[in-house]
Amino acid sequence: MITIKLAYRNLIGAGLRTWLNVIVLSFSFVMIIWMKGMLDGWDRQARIDSIEWETGGGQYWHENYDPYDPFTFEDSHAPLTPEQENLWQEGKLVPVLITRGTIYPEGRMQNIVIKGIDVNQNLLSIPTARLDTSVYGIPAVIGSAMAQNSQLKEGDRLVVRWRDANGTFDADEMVITGIFHTTVPSIDAGQIWIPLKDLQRMTLLENEATLLVRDNTEDPMPRFSGWNFMEKNELLKDIETIIKSKTAGTSVFYMILMLLALLVIFDTQVLSVFRRQKEIGTYVAMGMTRKEVVALFTVEGGMHAVLAIVVGAIYGIPLFIQQSAQGISFGLSGQDFGITMAETLYPLYSMELIISTIFIIVIATTFVSFIPARKISGMNPTEAIKGKIQ
């Protein structure tokens, strides 16, 4: 208790010097929490978007289906069982049929993936209602990234070629009836969404599907033989890996921030040991043991972090509240990088994040102060009293 009281008195007494350190430290605190909050917010948003646009509450994959190998598409489909059809009618499942195809926008050949989806579904955010129109040709919706890459706009007509179940090539004309905007690139780039019925007819795969998306609820669902159930979290792992890899750079950045903060404290404390030599000798002469002096200096260092929390809270809390309410706009979307990222990020500042950051910084600061403080214990008090630099 006495150590804390003296440490506090020493810090407050040192005035400006203390406050400069505290401000630098608080800046590190706030920056680290800010950045981590942004990443957590991004992560949360990416998960929500992926669930809404792509994964639903999980997917049943035909046992041969491998999304990373389009050549498996030919063999990865099966007819829906009556049980599956019932669940579809109840809105608990949405079947998707997937096949490879080729389009020729502006005379260029482009390999694409054609996905057939129930036009009446509302389990995923893909605007399938736009497919429910009568046009001359096959109605199709595409994402904005696909539209941009292939120079397609609403109302455009294009020739599409595919192979049916017998391996015979066939061709028809498609009409773009809608372009949707999504933050989830894996349902956008290189893909065209058309009505399930049309794709089944085109490929001669009446009533068949490649995967079934289930609703995002905890309701129990049966297993289907020949279909592998992919848990939601399994499917979301991909985004997490992507976000982690994309954030490796940021980790380095906050390592630097952290080091900067610790360097400030370390520097202050190392200087203290020399500058305050006479003071240290005086403490010993007045009856403090060396251990007590080391404790005092260590607590003084750690207390910088505590004051920094207070100072950081003063400007950090309003900043965090404002940003988690209004979001941070980057003026460009993650589509440009091929990652799930919205144009406006809503950072997520969880209690867990804040407490763990505070904990780490307080511990690290205290430890870093302890090192130079320990040097004091080797000092000869009779020399220290005179204040000679050793």
Partner 1 sequence: MTNNGNQAIIALEHVVKRFPSGRTWFTALKDINLTLGRGEFAGLVGPSGSGKTTLLNLIGSLDSPSEGRVDVLGREVGKMNARESATMRKKHLGFIFQTYNLIPVYTVYENVEFPLLLLKEKADKRRKAVLEALEWLGIESKAKSKPTQLSGGECQRVAIARAMVKKPEIVLADEPTANLDAENSHHILQTMEQLNRELGTTFLFATHDEKVIKYLKRKIRLFDGKVASDEIIQS
Q: Which residues lie near partner 1 (CB under 8 A)?
A: 2, 5-6, 9-10, 13-15, 278-279, 281-282, 284-290, 292, 380-382, 385-387
* φ/ψ (deg, to 5) at 179: -120, 125
Q: In the bound complex, what is the minimum distance in angstroms from residue 4's beta carbon to partner 1?
A: 12
CA dihedral 47, 53, 55, 59 (to 10 degrees): 170
Give bridge partners of residue 102 from the DSSP assignment. 111, 161
**Residue 144 buriedness (CB in 10 A; 0-12 / 13-18 / 19+):** middle
Q: How far is CA 277 from CA 10, 253, 280, 282, 344, in A?
A: 14, 36, 5, 9, 53
Q: Which is nearer to partner 1, 10 or 128 (CB)?
A: 10
Q: In the bound complex, what is the minimum distance in angstroms from residue 23's beta carbon to partner 1?
A: 18
Q: Which is nearer to partner 1, 159 or 271 (CB)?
A: 271
Q: Which is nearer to partner 1, 31 or 293 (CB)?
A: 293
Q: In the bound complex, what is the minimum distance in angstroms from residue 288's beta carbon to partner 1?
A: 6
Q: In the bound complex, what is the minimum distance in angstroms from residue 310's beta carbon to partner 1?
A: 20
Q: Which is nearer to partner 1, 6 or 328 (CB)?
A: 6
Cα 272 from chain centroid?
42
Q: Helices 351-376 and 16-50: crossing angle, nearest 10°?
A: 150
Q: Which residues contact 122 (CB under 8 A, 6 or more apart)?
A: 91, 128
Q: In the bound complex, what is the minimum distance in angstroms from residue 292's beta carbon to partner 1?
A: 8
Kindly state the tokens that stand for 103: 């389009």
Residues in the chain: 390
Q: In the bound complex, what is the minimum distance in angstroms from residue 24's beta carbon to partner 1?
A: 20
Q: Which is nearer to partner 1, 181 or 275 (CB)?
A: 275
Q: How far is CA 70 from CA 33, 85, 99, 108, in A?
A: 42, 26, 8, 20
Q: Which residues contact 116 (CB under 8 A, 6 or more apart)?
A: 96, 97, 98, 99, 193, 194, 195, 196, 197, 198, 199, 200
Q: In the bound complex, what is the minimum distance in angstroms from residue 9's beta carbon to partner 1?
A: 7
Q: Which is nearer to partner 1, 177 or 298 (CB)?
A: 298
Q: In the bound complex, what is the minimum distance in angstroms from residue 5's beta carbon to partner 1?
A: 7
163 in Cβ contact with 170 (< 8 Å): yes
Q: Which is nearer to partner 1, 160 or 307 (CB)?
A: 307
Q: How far is CA 295 from CA 49, 291, 378, in A?
A: 51, 6, 14
Kindly state the tokens that stand for 18: 């203390």
Q: Which is nearer to partner 1, 33 or 384 (CB)?
A: 384
Q: Which is nearer to partner 1, 116 or 281 (CB)?
A: 281
Q: Whose structure tokens read 């001359």?
A: 136
Q: In the bound complex, what is the minimum distance in angstroms from residue 374's beta carbon to partner 1?
A: 15
